[in-house]
Amino acid sequence: MRNLIKVIAVIWLFSNNCFAERTLLATISLDEATKQIIEGTYNKVLGAQTEIIDGKEVHIIKVLTPDGRIQYYKIDAETGQLVS
């Protein structure tokens, strides 16, 4: 019985390490998120920062649009997807 518990504990530890590495590789930096927003547009970046929103890391990029409006974009740091 003790050996079974040890085996389960070792498998659990290794599975968590694999998951952590996969998550680490999937993240994008604030710089990459900013480049993603301005790519192919004439927006001017006014500022960028990373915040924790609902327990997730989110990159917030503040841009000046060509028509003079200020717009904020939120990018999920883990997936790189635009957050609504």
For residue range 50-61, list pLDDT tens digits in order. 999 999 999 999
Scanning the structure block, which residue is given the tokens 């609504």? 84
* Residue 10 burial (10 A CB sphere; 0-12, 13-18, 19+): exposed
Q: Report how far residue 58's alpha carbon sits from residue 22's, in angstroms, rounded to the nearest whole number.
A: 18
pLDDT of residue 39: 87
Q: Report how far residue 46's alpha carbon sits from residue 19's, in angstroms, rounded to the nearest whole number.
A: 35
Q: Report how far residue 61's alpha carbon sits from residue 2's, in angstroms, rounded to the nearest whole number.
A: 52
Q: Which residues contact 21 (CB under 8 A, 6 or more apart)?
A: none
pLDDT of residue 69: 94
For domain 2-83, the question of CATH label 3.40.50.2300 is answered with no
Structural domain boundaries of the chain?
2-83
